[in-house]
Structure 1
Amino acid sequence: MKPGKFLLLIYISLTLMIVPGCWSRRELNSLSISQAIAVDLEPDGKIVLTFLFVKPDSGQKQMGGGSGSGMSYVLVSEKGETLFDTQRDIYLSLPRKLFMGQNSLVIYSEQAARAGLGPLMDLFFRHKDFRLTNYVFVTRGKASDMLKFQPNLESNPVREIFGAITYAHMRVSKTIPKDIKDFLIDLGAPGIEPVLPEIELVPKLAGEELPQSGSSGGGGPSQKTKLRLAGMAVFKEDKFVDWLSPDETRALHFAVAMGHLGIEIIPGPSDKKLAVEIIGGTSKIKPIVKNGRLFIRIESTSAANIGETMGVKGIDNPDLINELNKETENVIRERIEKLVKKAQKEYRSDFMGFGSAIWREMPQYWKEIENEWDELFTEIPVEVVVKVDIKGIGMASDYSNER
């Protein structure tokens, strides 16, 4: 072997011995692993960050059958001028290095959202550990309170919230999951304003309250309230405007094809009511220029089943099914029309994405009206076309028969 190649081989071998070292490793037992962050804004403009950390030995205690008197997580809060400054001051109360790579939720108070979420998200999409797939919520009260309730089934509030948002929108359609990436995309896209899901704590019903064992000392999580996901927060650019109710959120699902699922209560014969289960569908927002005038057409098509008859007879009658199709269409159409009116006249926020539809379908026309869209949006005529097809009536016949 030539001397030059031999020296090169030695150099490469020595380099390989040095380079693979774990220079950037982070030992698990040296980290404070954050699972949720609550962001509150005080009247004086100070930011309050609250982190939920899972205790490192909580899993061992649960597997070992401990007393269960202690919580498996801890909350740590700090106050500061900016998010970055406040996040660094958390170290004044932490015995380990903060790690946000496993964080899954960010909750903002209404006051913080009114001030504008753009500056209050800047740290998160710049931080090397933070993932933009974190779910984002807005709450009417203090954001930190949303990390203090007693979870029903899970070991900590974060897992309870994460599970609820994962399944609720697929079964109920009264909420819409959004992550930081979704918010930033809507914020930067033309012709659409962001929305974020609302999260709140509501009093437990009488049948839900269980007797507490041991002392009921203060400082622990509230056992008189429970998590509830219902409705959405509407924004104009990055600033909070107002709330959508659960029914208005359902209308948003139907209008923009975020999900055609859930239950509609429909009037039936003899003043009885039926539950119609929406099982799927499609929607399209169509911008149309006719005779030089722009208008929007919302086309919503849904498939459905009869979920509950509440004593209505003859549910297999084709004439009754046709009547129920029309009643369901009327309910959905009226709901969408009310939402459009609220968006245009009250909130003046194009969170349904009419402008975005124009930008996609008529890019040249959008360039002509883009600068005037805020005013044009409030006056543009909107036509709502709804089609419902009830395909199934269930496996059971009428539960009682005339004798």
Structure 2
Amino acid sequence: MNRKLTFLILSVFLPFLLSGCWDSRELNSLSIVSATSIDRSDDEWVMSFQVVIPQSIATQTGGGSGGSQSPITIFSTRGKTIREAMQNANLEAPRTLFFAHNSILIINEEVVRNEGVRQILDFFLRPVESRETMSVLLTKDKASNLLEVLIPLEKITGNAIQRVITQGQENLSQVKNIKLIDFASMIANPYRSAIAPELKVSGDQDEQSTLDALKSTRNKAVIRLGDLGVFRGDKLIGWLKREESRGVAWLSNSVKNLIIVFPCSDRQNTLLSSYRVVHSSTQAEPVLVDGSINMKIHIETKGALDETSCTLDLTKPDVITKLEDVITEQIKDEIETAWKRMKEMNADPVGFMDMIHRRYPAVSKQLSKSEQPLQEIKLNLNIKVTIEHTNMINKPFTNLIEPK
């Protein structure tokens, strides 16, 4: 009797254990999206998707036909809403679009200037499949053009763009990799201006969009990072150029790896040297002085002299001190250039207003009533530069060459 009862129980419950994944999808029924772009045309959203072609990126030993066809293809759809545009992709794409590997979102300048990013963020933060860590980028040209450029070193353009951003953030501190979730947080913060880097094509984009581009020894076009877009609310209001972006990086404690080119002295601007930042830290503190806010900025940077054409004896401490003073002035100029531009744009990508709000809520409330709050803030800079070493040689190689 017990054996019959046990068998009956197992026959009832075993099917539940063997039911598998109810929401699973076969890989051969999906189109894997690596990058997405957003444009506007005729009052409609234009969505473009860079889809990976698996057989084209497979190695020949794996049975693929790598090199015989493009590693990617582009689908473009449109709709009155972003969701409708996405849905209309089913009219063209033979497989269901799969966004779990989508790492890049590129938005056209006109979209973020006129429409803003509110609706875009609302859409991409909703789906479970969407990646909150995808990088947000802007472009002054048609966004879908960037998805079409083929890059020999990286067959999937979305991956190449991601590497360009990572390299730029690590080696050029004026570039910052802005994740979707961080971008949304900046947009939602009333005391700080959001930022996003520009991506652009340099060269002949049409030539670099054909399969022959992968067989050429020289690229006809390259994808590169450009200016830094600045927002007020959810709309783009302007751009920061390279030197201005570096100033923002200094103020934001975002400098990691950076080369500073500086003259040998104030009177000698033709002979240049390179100072490589090894370590840098920035401390910003709002201080109330006689009813006015002073932002006390303390920057300390340490680095090495990587290159010099100065005819100076680098073994002497006073010579090193003079060079440190010149570098200090160079950093100060970059910061003051950025601060001037910030006040012109009436934008705060550094987050000074947020710092003031945290320490002096009443003062922050009063500043918020002003049409130009940054004009009422004074910047107090204290910069300390240290040249820790001059690498393998102490004296410039120029000093070793005897004049003829």
Q: Tell me how large the CA RMSD over aligned residues is.
A: 2.8
Alignment of 1:357-368 (within 5 A): 357-363=355-361, 365-366=363-364, 368=365
C-alpha separation in 2, matches of 1:156 and 1:316: 50
Partner AA of 2:44 in structure 1: K
Shift of 1:130: 0.2
Shift of 1:10: 6.0
Shift of 1:382: 2.0
C-alpha separation in 1, matches of 2:336 and 2:381: 7
Distance 1:69 1:364, change over 3 A: same
Determine the structure 1 residue equivalent to 2:87.
Answer: 88
Distance 1:265 1:94, change over 3 A: same
C-alpha separation in 2, matches of 1:175 and 1:93: 36
Shift of 1:86: 0.1
Bigger mean CA deviation after superposition, 305-314 or 384-393 = 305-314
Shift of 1:166: 0.9
C-alpha separation in 2, matches of 1:164 and 1:297: 34
Post-superposition Cα deviations, 1:214-260, rounded to whole Å, max 9, x if no partner, equal 799xxxxx952111113210100110011111121111111111224
Partner AA of 2:49 in structure 1: F
Query: Is 1:387 paired with 2:384?
Result: yes
Alignment of 1:184-223 (within 5 A): 184-203=184-203
Shift of 1:310: 2.7
Shift of 1:174: 3.0
C-alpha separation in 2, matches of 1:303 and 1:125: 40
Determine the structure 1 residue equivalent to 2:97.
Answer: 98
Query: Is 1:302 paired with 2:301?
Result: yes
C-alpha separation in 1, matches of 2:152 and 2:75: 22
Shift of 1:106: 0.2
CA contact (8 A) 1:355 1:373 kept: no
CA contact (8 A) 2:303 2:387 kept: yes
State the SS of the aligned residue for 1:377.
helix
Shift of 1:381: 2.0
Query: Is 1:169 paired with 2:169?
Result: yes
Partner AA of 2:161 in structure 1: I
TM-score (norm 1): 0.88
State the SS of the aligned residue for 2:150.
coil
Determine the structure 2 residue equivalent to 1:258.
Answer: 254
Distance 1:14 1:361, change over 3 A: farther
Shift of 1:349: 1.1
Post-superposition Cα deviations, 1:347-375, rounded to whole Å, max 9, x if no partner, equal 11111111111123334543x33642653
Query: Is 1:46 paired with 2:73?
Result: no
Shift of 1:331: 0.9
State the SS of the aligned residue for 1:168.
helix
CA contact (8 A) 1:200 1:228 kept: yes
C-alpha separation in 2, matches of 1:62 and 1:360: 59
Unmatched 5+ stretches in structure 1: 217-221
Post-superposition Cα deviations, 1:54-73, rounded to whole Å, max 9, x if no partner, equal 01312335544747131111
Alignment of 1:1-400 (within 5 A): 14-15=12-13, 17-18=15-16, 21-42=20-41, 44-60=42-58, 62-63=60-61, 64=63, 66=65, 68-114=67-113, 115-203=115-203, 224-268=220-264, 271-310=270-309, 312-344=311-343, 346-363=344-361, 365-366=363-364, 368-369=365-366, 371-372=368-369, 374-397=371-394, 398-400=396-398
C-alpha separation in 1, matches of 2:47 and 2:54: 21
CA contact (8 A) 1:116 1:239 kept: yes
C-alpha separation in 2, matches of 1:188 and 1:170: 27
State the SS of the aligned residue for 2:58.
helix
Distance 1:152 1:243, change over 3 A: farther
Shift of 1:137: 0.2
Count of residue correspondences: 387
Partner AA of 1:349 in structure 2: A
Shift of 1:28: 0.8
Post-superposition Cα deviations, 1:100-158, rounded to whole Å, max 9, x if no partner, equal 11100000010111120111222110112001100010011010011122314111211
Identical pairs, percent: 27
Determine the structure 2 residue equivalent to 1:219.
Answer: none
C-alpha separation in 1, matches of 2:325 and 2:9: 80
Shift of 1:337: 1.2
C-alpha separation in 2, matches of 1:188 and 1:266: 39
Partner AA of 1:129 in structure 2: E
Partner AA of 2:160 in structure 1: E
C-alpha separation in 2, matches of 1:402 and 1:66: 57
Shift of 1:16: 5.5
Shift of 1:77: 0.3
Unmatched 5+ stretches in structure 2: none
Post-superposition Cα deviations, 1:1-56, rounded to whole Å, max 9, x if no partner, equal 999xx78x9668734531552111111111111110000012x3211100000013
State the SS of the aligned residue for 1:333.
helix
C-alpha separation in 1, matches of 2:223 and 2:362: 46
Partner AA of 2:293 in structure 1: L
C-alpha separation in 2, matches of 1:171 and 1:239: 29
